[in-house]
Amino acid sequence: MQQATAREELLAGNRRFLAAGMHSHMLHAERVVHTGVFGQSPSVGILSCSDSRVPPEIIFDQGIGEVFGVRDAGNFEDVGATATFEYGVAALGVHTITVLGHTKCGAIDATVSGQQLPGNMPAITAAIAPGLVEFMKSTAASGAKPDLTAASEANARWQAQQLMARSALLRAARASGSLTLLAAIYDVDTGVVRFRD
């Protein structure tokens, strides 16, 4: 996948997924042998939610060795995610990072509603909440019920910004033109991906 066409190629993969015309997953055996012998060289990194309805390789019709991924509830940036993408960019040739949110996200819902979560789960809402401050202010001012899809979009954009804020390496790659940063939303009802960067 070329950097200049990464968005279009991901969208083309999403269209193949929607049309039941996927081809990357028919080549598993060949890709396993190839990546086992020659190593990995993914060109796209994806920070996505761990929601089981949102498997990035499938919804973008990408095969083994093509996506360098990080998944957590709410697709939030933290030092581990950023370090992973730094490695992808510095050592593997990743040239495009996409932060992929989705509709009907439980982590977004819990953050917007202020739900009290048990165990270590408050770390999720704490990582998401700062990116929703402006969204929550505008929602409160309008008196409308919060639109969770709009909140997911705001979160995806915020988490992309946080990747850049934390990492001098990623900022330098982006400034040089060797790294593209994208934000996208996956609709769990339709299977459609929309880029929102």
| CATH code, 138 | 3.40.1050.10
**Residue span of the structural domain in which 58 resides:** 3-195
Please determine, for residue 21, whether its predicted confidence score (pLDDT) is greater than 90.
no
Give the tokens for residue 27: 């080549």
What SS3 state is found at 192? Answer: coil
d(CA 100, CA 159): 10
List b or e across 166-184, with b for residues whose CB sees 16 or more CB atoms inside 10 angstroms: bbebbeebbeeeebbbbbb
Q: pTM for the complete prediction?
A: 0.92
CA separation for the pair 94, 80 (Å, rounded): 17
pLDDT of residue 1: 85
Q: What pLDDT band is residue 31 in, cutting at 50, 70 and 90?
A: low
Model confidence pLDDT, tens digit, residues 33-75: 766 777 778 999 999 999 999 999 999 999 889 999 999 999 9
**pLDDT of 78-132, one tens digit each?**
999 999 999 999 999 999 999 999 999 999 999 999 999 999 999 999 999 999 9
Which amino acid, one-letter code, is at 193?
A: V
Question: What is the tally of structural domains in the chain?
Answer: 1
Taking alpha carbons only, the member of 95, 82, 97, 81 closest to residue 45 is: 97
Element (H, E) at 101: strand 96-102
Tell me the DSSP string of 13-47. HHHHHHTT---GGGGHHHHHHHHHHH-----EEEE
User: What tokens appear for 60 in the block?
Assistant: 């973008």
- pLDDT of 86 reads 98
Going by DSSP bridges, is the β-strand pair 67-71/180-186 parallel, antiparallel, or unpaired? unpaired
Q: Residue 88 in contact with residue 42, Cβ under 8 Å?
A: yes
